[in-house]
Amino acid sequence: MDVFTMVIVACVAGEPNCSSTHLSEMSFTSAEACEARVDSVVGSMTKEFGKRPELKGRQVSYDVSCMNRVQLARKFGIRQSDT
């Protein structure tokens, strides 16, 4: 089965830059496995944001993707890959 790649972008309201995390692990052999890891990473990111007093009360939005190699290539317009 194809390996899935996880991409998470977290944006805090009022902050000029967003944070992002990109993981590709062999354990992501299904969308469900990737989604379970997403939940774990989002939880950790939320806790870290919560530790910063200047961010207290601000909304955080997450853009999450779990894609296999073909989906990733389509999303970014890659026609061929040497890998």
b/e for 5-33, b at 16 or more Cβ within 10 A? bbbbebbbeeeeeeeeeebeeeebeeeeb
Residue 1 has what pLDDT? Answer: 45
Q: What pTM, to 2 d.p., does this model score?
A: 0.68
At 22-67, the pLDDT tens digits run: 887 666 677 787 778 888 889 999 999 999 999 888 999 998 887 8
